[in-house]
Amino acid sequence: MKIDEIRSKRDSELEYDLGNLKKELFGLRFKAATETSANPSRIRVIRREIARINTILRERKTKIRGQEPR
């Protein structure tokens, strides 16, 4: 997900996406611990998407960059 896509979403949509990404990350980590077929690059991508969403939510909460919470 690109940063422009994240910025265009509402807070409720971002929180929903964040929950889904955390569930997927948990599943991939569990799979990596029990099997050898987990995709390590996907884990990295998901961790970065989670960080981007958390950053945007934090910016909106503290009113950085002129973004208002939606």
Domains and CATH numbers, the chain: 3-63 (1.10.287.310)
Task: Give the span between the Cα atoms of 28 and 5, in whole angstroms.
Answer: 24
pLDDT score at 67: 63
* Overall average pLDDT of the 35-51 stretch: 88
Residues 6+ apart with CB under 8 A from 43: 25, 28, 29, 32
- Structure tokens given for 33: 């611990």
* Overall average pLDDT of the 2-30 stretch: 94
Contact 21, 50 (CB under 8 A): yes
pLDDT greater than 90 at residue 52: yes
How many other β-carbons are positioned within 10 Å of the β-carbon of residue 46? Answer: 19
